[in-house]
């Protein structure tokens, strides 16, 4: 972001050449990148995008540029949107495993991957509505970028993918050229010298004793305790202990004038999410707190977000999912099939509530539902307080339902369309800092994920290590299956109240 702001402000920089390869981002982050491209263009910078064989999302980002250039040996894989979710009930029945979950309410589909063989009606409705909305955003934006009618864009999507000559004829790209000719052609058309982006990046300015803004990042599954990671599963765990300490440090630092809370989390522990909400609420009493939703800020992620002064989200962001569930997995049947006996001794009427070898009784399920209703009402109350709504109004748009950022704005859950840049500008304004004011930018919490994560990185299991490389080498269908498994339901404690998104979101090419 700092490098892009440097490009925007430097008069000797005439434009930017983007080479878009692998894009590890969701649709909301893609929209943030598009917003930056449009911002640079409004500042008088010429933006060119060079692609090799872009999938739909890569092309969506590139289309925001002044001109789209394509490798002559490549093509455009413009194929639309798709999601596949997996349901394991049949497998569990086959091996004698019994998942049992209680949820509030009908759209809280998180346990369905374990308890059903197909999605429920509400879950299917919710997925269809979200995909319809994001697809309309895609069509609308591409039509505007490429000066085509929406009907023409839909027809092109239905007839993709395209070879390079076909993409040029269809108006999807402006020029087709070999990589070896790229630099010469760009310099000829722009009358400018190409320099590496790194040459423009400067060390972060420090202003000791001067004003500062803070970005506090919540990025991963929300858990009780300290933040950590599970490198082999590609999971970041955001601990309420770590985040509350960071929020308290920001609250007590006199240099920090305002805070941006950047959230990319599907939620997790309901208790930890409430602790984050309370800490953000306490911070808000002292300093402005502006919330920026990244790709996902749902369930427990939205729980924390709703305590802020103002919430920004890109139209394709995933949010809402205001609901709660809990449960356990009973392995008693599997043990019997394997010939493994067990003997359990209990003292107390509900001592076996969280047992992994016995099912819930009907009375236990009624008791759990009563407990969940208490947590759900507290969740509704937190949203109502933060958003200035009644609990009845919140319940009407809650019940576990997922919304896109655009839908959430219409429902009163989000204030404005925008990304991190817009949130920072709002924080800067509320801090009383002029547009050209010098200030430091502090990012918290520090990225120390503990001994286990450090050891895993040393063994090559961290970012870019064998674990990640092996996952990337899996066939797309198998990668989608692994990503869609509700793994947090396994490392959460049995009976723990969870406020979490129903599934992992996977972009299909």
- The DSSP result for 256-305, as a single string, is EEEEEEEEEE-EEEHHHHHHHHHHHHHHHTTS-EEEEEEEEEETHHHHHH
Q: In this model, does residue 489 exceed pLDDT 80?
A: no
For the domain made up of 2-79+160-196, the CATH class stated in words is: alpha beta
Distances (CA, A) of 425 to 50, 65, 207, 493: 30, 23, 19, 40
Q: In this model, does residue 388 exceed pLDDT 50?
A: yes
Q: Average of pLDDT values for 69-73?
A: 96
Q: Average of pLDDT values for 14-18?
A: 91
Q: Average of pLDDT values for 263-271?
A: 95
Say if CB 342 and CB 335 are below 8 A apart: yes
Residue 194: phi and psi, rounded to 5, are -90, 125
Q: Average of pLDDT values for 339-348?
A: 94
Q: In this model, does residue 345 exceed pLDDT 70?
A: yes
Q: Average of pLDDT values for 324-345?
A: 95
pLDDT of residue 496: 77
Confidence of residue 209 (pLDDT cuts 50, 70, 90): low
pLDDT of residue 437: 85
Is pLDDT larger for residue 151 or for residue 498?
Answer: 151
Q: Average of pLDDT values for 228-252?
A: 88
Q: Average of pLDDT values for 280-305?
A: 97
Q: Which two tokens mark 122? A: 């509400």
Instruction: Determine the 3-state secondary structure of 85 from DSSP.
Output: coil
Q: What percent of the chain has pLDDT over 70?
A: 85
Query: What is the dihedral angle through the alpha carbons of 313, 318, 323, 326, rounded to the nearest 10 degrees?
Result: -130
Residues 6+ away with beta carbon under 8 Å from 476: 508, 509
Average pLDDT, the chain: 88
> What is the rounded CA–CA span in Å between residue 400 and residue 411?
14
Among 439, 445, 423, 436, residue whose Cα is nearest residue 259:
423
Q: Could you say which of 3.90.180.10, 3.40.50.10070, 3.90.226.10, 3.30.413.10 is the CATH number of the domain covering 212-340+376-500?
A: 3.90.226.10
Q: Average of pLDDT values for 305-310?
A: 98
Reported pTM: 0.89
434-488, pLDDT tens digit by residue? 988 888 999 999 765 443 343 333 333 344 444 455 555 555 555 555 556 555 5
Q: Average of pLDDT values for 338-344?
A: 95
Residues 6+ away with beta carbon under 8 Å from 129: 407
Q: Where in the chain is the domain with CATH 3.90.226.10?
A: 2-79+160-196, 212-340+376-500
Is pLDDT larger for residue 210 or for residue 334?
Answer: 334
Q: Average of pLDDT values for 71-97?
A: 95
Residues 6+ away with beta carbon under 8 Å from 396: none
pLDDT of residue 459: 37
pLDDT of residue 12: 85
């Amino acid at each position: 972001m700092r490098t892009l702001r440097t490009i925007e402000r430097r008069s000797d920089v005439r434009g930017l050449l983007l080479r878009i390869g692998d894009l590890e981002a969701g649709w909301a982050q893609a929209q943030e990148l598009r917003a930056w491209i449009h911002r640079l263009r409004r500042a008088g910078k010429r933006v060119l995008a060079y692609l090799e064989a872009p999938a739909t999302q890569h092309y969506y980002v590139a289309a925001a540029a002044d001109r789209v250039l394509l490798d002559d040996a490549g093509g455009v894989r413009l194929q639309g949107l798709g999601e596949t979710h997996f349901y394991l009930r049949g497998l569990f029945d086959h091996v004698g495993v019994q998942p049992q979950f209680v949820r509030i309410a009908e759209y809280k589909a998180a346990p369905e991957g374990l308890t059903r063989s197909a999605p429920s009606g509400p879950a299917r409705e919710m997925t269809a509505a979200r995909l319809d909305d994001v697809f309309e955003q895609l069509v609308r934006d591409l039509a505007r970028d490429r000066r085509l009618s929406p009907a023409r864009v839909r027809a092109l999507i239905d007839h993709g993918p395209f070879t390079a000559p076909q993409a040029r004829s269809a108006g999807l790209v402006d020029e087709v050229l070999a990589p070896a000719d790229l630099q010469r052609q760009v310099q000829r058309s722009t009358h400018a010298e190409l320099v590496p982006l790194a040459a423009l990046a400067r060390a972060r300015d420090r202003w000791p004793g001067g004003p500062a803004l803070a970005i506090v990042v919540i990025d991963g599954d929300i858990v009780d305790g300290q933040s950590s990671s599970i490198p082999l599963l590609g999971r970041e765990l955001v601990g309420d202990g770590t985040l509350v300490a960071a929020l308290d440090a920001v609250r007590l630092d006199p240099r920090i004038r305002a805070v941006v809370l950047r959230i990319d989390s599907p939620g997790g522990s309901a208790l930890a999410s409430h602790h984050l909400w309370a800490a953000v609420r306490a911070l808000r009493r002292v300093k402005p707190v502006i919330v920026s939703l990244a790709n996902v800020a749902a369930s427990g992620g939205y729980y924390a977000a709703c305590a802020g002064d103002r919430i920004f989200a890109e139209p394709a962001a995933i949010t809402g999912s205001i609901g709660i569930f809990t449960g356990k997995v009973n392995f008693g049947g599997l043990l019997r099939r394997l010939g493994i006996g067990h003997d359990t001794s209990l003292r107390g009427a509900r001592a076996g509530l969280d047992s992994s070898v016995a099912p819930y009784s009907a009375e236990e399920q009624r008791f759990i539902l009563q407990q969940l209703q208490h947590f759900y009402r507290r969740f509704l109350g937190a949203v109502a307080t933060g958003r200035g709504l009644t609990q009845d109004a919140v319940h009407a748009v809650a019940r576990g339902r997922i919304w896109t950022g655009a839908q959430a704005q219409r429902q009163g859950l989000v204030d404005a369309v925008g990304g991190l840049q817009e949130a920072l500008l709002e924080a800067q304004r509320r801090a009383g800092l002029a547009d050209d004011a010098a200030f430091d930018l502090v990012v918290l919490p520090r990225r120390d994920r503990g001994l286990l994560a450090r050891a895993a990185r040393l063994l090559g299991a961290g970012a870019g290590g064998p674990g990640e490389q092996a996952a990337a080498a899996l066939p797309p269908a198998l990668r989608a299956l692994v990503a869609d498994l509700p793994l947090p339901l396994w490392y959460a404690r049995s009976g723990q109240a969870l406020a979490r998104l129903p599934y992992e979101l996977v972009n299909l090419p």
